[in-house]
Amino acid sequence: MHNSINLPVAPEISVRNLLAGPPEPQITTAAEYDLLRYPLHEGIDILLWRVNFSRPLSMRLHDDLGRIDFSCVLKGTSRYLLSDARAESEYLLRQGSNCISHLPDCHGISSYMDKFESVSISFQPDVLANWVPEMDRALRRQIDTQRCCQRRACNAEMQATAHMLAEALNRMRSSPAGDNARAPLWLLGQSMVLLSLILDAHREKERNDCRLSHCDRQKLMRAKDLLLADLAQAPTIAELARETGLSLLKIKRGFRLLFNNSVYGLFQAERMQEAKRRLSAGDIPVMIVAADLGYTNASHFTAAFQKQFGVNPSAFKRRF
């Protein structure tokens, strides 16, 4: 895991205070972030969270509410650094991913580079137990640890449902009583569809993980270490296969099952994270960072960086 980028940190925000308000649709707005909350049912809310910082910034959060959240990231990337007496962990949430989280009484730091948007279905734990009595046992055990942050990739149906919910909430905000506002029953129904899709994705991931033997998982972790050992030049899949004793097909399938990415997709994502770390940490010119990471064509580096982070590297560097 790469070291966290040191960004300006705002004062700690209480999740309870952030969501506090009368039991009706509300908007909590600060200078650079925006939260739309709509109560669906007693103990169930739908949340649309946006940040649009003019520069990279971190927010200290205290989860004094203890909800279980089922979220889809619609735009951007964020990092969450959880630090408590048990351990320190860092979680990356990217566009196109979903997350099941339960972190009661945790203190952490959410970091944002640019624009970020997510939609979440938020449950009180006892209410979720009534709505989903047959939850997968492995997921239930993870939630019960009270340090749950399980991430998976969104499929097309999940992304479409999440975007529909976000658009509906936006319409309700612009005209709460207008003809374009969705009925509460529609919002509840679509929210339960999204919940079901997220739970299905996590069950499918558990089944897929079971298809890999312990030995294969160890070999795949070794392949990942070899892949990321030199971010300037990726080894070939054939080289990874030779070094680990896995077949080409097992490496390709195994990376998707275990790491939710292709071999070179994972390499590229980590290479861009390293580029971002270097650009934010010192006075290294963009061209030097690009060359150090194996790019001979600056425009290719710029395109790759912008594709992952939504901003070109020169503009990103000027923020520091």
Strand (E) or helix (H) holding 50 = strand 44-52
Residue ranges of the chain with pLDDT lower than 50? 1-8, 22-31
Cα–Cα dist 112/77, whole Å: 7
Question: In this predicted structure, what is the pLDDT of residue 19?
Answer: 78
Domain boundaries, the chain: 9-210, 214-317
Question: In this predicted structure, what is the pLDDT of residue 317?
Answer: 86
Question: In this predicted structure, what is the pLDDT of residue 58?
Answer: 79
The CB density around residue 79, as the number of other CB atoms within 10 Å, is 20
Question: In this predicted structure, what is the pLDDT of residue 30?
Answer: 43
Question: In this predicted structure, what is the pLDDT of residue 207?
Answer: 61
Residue range 9-210, CATH number: 2.60.120.10
Domain 214-317: CATH superfamily, name plus number: Homeodomain-like (1.10.10.60)
Cα–Cα dist 301/283, whole Å: 18
Sheet containing 88-94, strands listed edge to edge, beginning at the edge strand earlier in sequence: 9-14, 57-62, 107-112, 77-83, 88-94
Token reading at 261: 């990415």
Q: Are 82 and 90 in contact (CB under 8 A)?
A: yes
Q: What is the largest CA-CA distance in the chain?
A: 64
105 torsion bin: left (phi>0), alpha (psi -120 to 50), beta (else): left
